[in-house]
């Protein structure tokens, strides 16, 4: 059972966080191991497994980046530890930004400028896939569109590593 089935949600690339949280608490009450404290060991172990799966699913579905990765994996378009080849022009730009990180550590203004550049990049890489991510429909969104989302996913991970070096989150 995938995480969307577990929560009774349609497959999507953005979740309604309020609805997800509400559904999580409903499911948690029914599967919480404390309700099975008087049950036999097998039932208790099953309840613990269901609760762990529910927590993992909630964490994944509630995190936009993890959610993109999860859906791409479910579609067979992304594998763990995949060596994805980013476009050379993007890598060159990132190399330039990366080289400027050490220079900005002692200069708050320079660090702020670099953070702004990272935010601009984030907006630039999201713009081409925004409609796909926001309007995803199971069975309607094409594999080609999902491959565009995959490229965005890897570019964003790269930007996040740079931002982490600055002590920020893009």
Q: Mean pLDDT, the chain, as a whole number?
A: 89
- Average pLDDT, stretch 50-79? 95
Question: 111: pLDDT confidence band, cut at 50, 70 and 90?
Answer: confident
Report whether pLDDT(156) > 70: yes
Q: For 156, which DSSP code?
A: H
Of 23, 47, 53, 21, which is closest to residue 35 (Cα–Cα)?
Answer: 47
pLDDT value for 53: 93
With a CB cutoff of 8 Å and minimum separation 6, the contacts of 19 are 9
Report whether pLDDT(170) > 70: no
- Among 37-41, 62-66, 75-79, 85-89, the minimum mean pLDDT is found in 37-41
pLDDT value for 109: 84
What is the phi/psi pair of residue 59, to 5°?
A: -65, -45
Question: 169: pLDDT confidence band, cut at 50, 70 and 90?
Answer: low
What is the phi/psi pair of residue 48, to 5°?
A: -65, -40
Q: pTM of this prediction?
A: 0.86
- Average pLDDT, stretch 113-131? 91
Q: Give a three-class secondary structure readout of 121-147.
A: HHHHHHHHHHHHHHCCCCCCCCHHHHH
Report whether pLDDT(59) > 60: yes
- Average pLDDT, stretch 84-112? 83
Of 57, 53, 20, 50, which is closest to residue 35 (Cα–Cα)?
Answer: 50
- Which sign does the torsion angle of CA 85, 86, 88, 92 carry? negative
Distance between CA atoms of residues 84 and 136, nearest Å: 23
């Amino acid at each position: 059972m995938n995480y969307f089935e577990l929560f009774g949600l349609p497959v999507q690339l953005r979740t309604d966080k309020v609805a997800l949280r509400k559904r999580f608490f409903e499911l948690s009450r029914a599967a919480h191991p404390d309700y099975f404290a008087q049950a036999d060991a097998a039932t208790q172990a099953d309840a613990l497994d269901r609760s762990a799966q529910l927590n993992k699913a909630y964490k994944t579905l509630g995190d936009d980046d993890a959610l993109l990765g999860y859906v791409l994996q479910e579609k067979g378009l992304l594998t763990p530890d995949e060596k994805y080849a980013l476009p050379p022009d993007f890598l060159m730009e990132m190399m330039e930004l990366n080289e400027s990180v050490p220079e900005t550590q002692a200069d708050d203004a320079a660090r702020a400028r670099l953070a702004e550049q990272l935010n601009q990049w984030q907006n630039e890489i999201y713009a081409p896939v925004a409609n796909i991510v926001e309007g995803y429909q199971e069975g309607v969104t094409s594999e080609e569109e999902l491959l565009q989302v995959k490229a965005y996913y890897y570019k964003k991970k790269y930007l996040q590593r740079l931002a982490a070096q600055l002590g920020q989150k893009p």
